[in-house]
Structure 1
């Protein structure tokens, strides 16, 4: 029996723990508990790396803004026209808005990664407990026992795994709502 790999290592471990339950489920026509895990698969490490890259970009924008502001101040003291100052203030504001948006995005990404990591780890622990509790019935089904009691216990365990995953997936809607503002441009360039 091969181990199914997931992006999140806790889910790979859970899939391994659910392997016998999965095999028993297949024999009696119960829901596949390992397939349910796919709905929670994620890579918090990749999200953290992206958030770090955005954060580094925010620092670059802040540095560019400071250089720009210094150049504007030099130009304004040299007797430049008033319209230049107005334009420069607009551009400076856009730099500031872009830097704030990038920093907020990076912070959200880091928090999102942490929450997804915790979600995958806790769901994995919960479904492993369900599989362990059904282990005697799972072994019985795998040895050919089709009594109502063991078939019901395996079916119940599989359905419980699916419900755990469904509950955890539904909790992601709050995180998705926090991502909505990121779909619009952070700064409208003039």
Structure 2
């Protein structure tokens, strides 16, 4: 049987450990426990890399804002009009807002990556424990035993795996509310 490859290494490991349960489930026509893991698959390392890039972008915007502010101050002390000062203050505020949003987005990305990583590892640990506890029944089914007791345990274990993964997915809903502000433009440029 080929090994399932997931983005998250803990889920790849769990899929390998669930391979016998999966085979037994297939023989019994019950839900595939490995397929359930797909719904939780993620790449926290990629998310962290993206978040770090956004954080670096925030630093660039902050630096650009400082250079802009210094230029504005030089222009204002050189006798520039009040209109220029008002315009410059608006642009300066936009720089500051963009830097704040980028910084908070980078922090949110890091939190999301950490939470996804925690959930994937916890799900992996939980489903592997479930599969281990049912290993005798799984082996019996794979050997051809179709007694009610072993069939029931394998079926119940597959259901428990799916519920465990579903519970971890449900825990992500709190992150969804944090993502809501990212659906609108962070700064309206003048």
Q: Deviations over 1:113-154 (max 9, x none)?
A: 000000000000000000000000000000000000000000
Residue 176 of structure 1: aligned partner: 176
Which residue is equivalent to 2:37? 37
1:146 match: 146
- What is the aligned partner in structure 2 of residue 111 from structure 1? 111
Deviations 1:62-85 (A, max 9, x none): 000000000000000000000000
Does residue 1:4 correspond to 2:4, yes or no? yes
SS in 1 for 2:96: helix
- Which aligned pairs between 1:6-155 and structure 2 lie closer than 5 A? 6-155=6-155
Q: Any gaps of 5 or more consecutive residues in structure 2? A: none
Q: How many residues align?
A: 190
**Deviation for aligned residue 1:30:** 1.1
Taking structure 2 as the reference length, what is the TM-score of the superposition?
0.99
Regions of 4+ moved over 4 Å: none
TM-score, normalising length from structure 1? 0.99
Q: CA RMSD in A?
A: 0.4
Cα drift, residue 57 of structure 1: 0.2
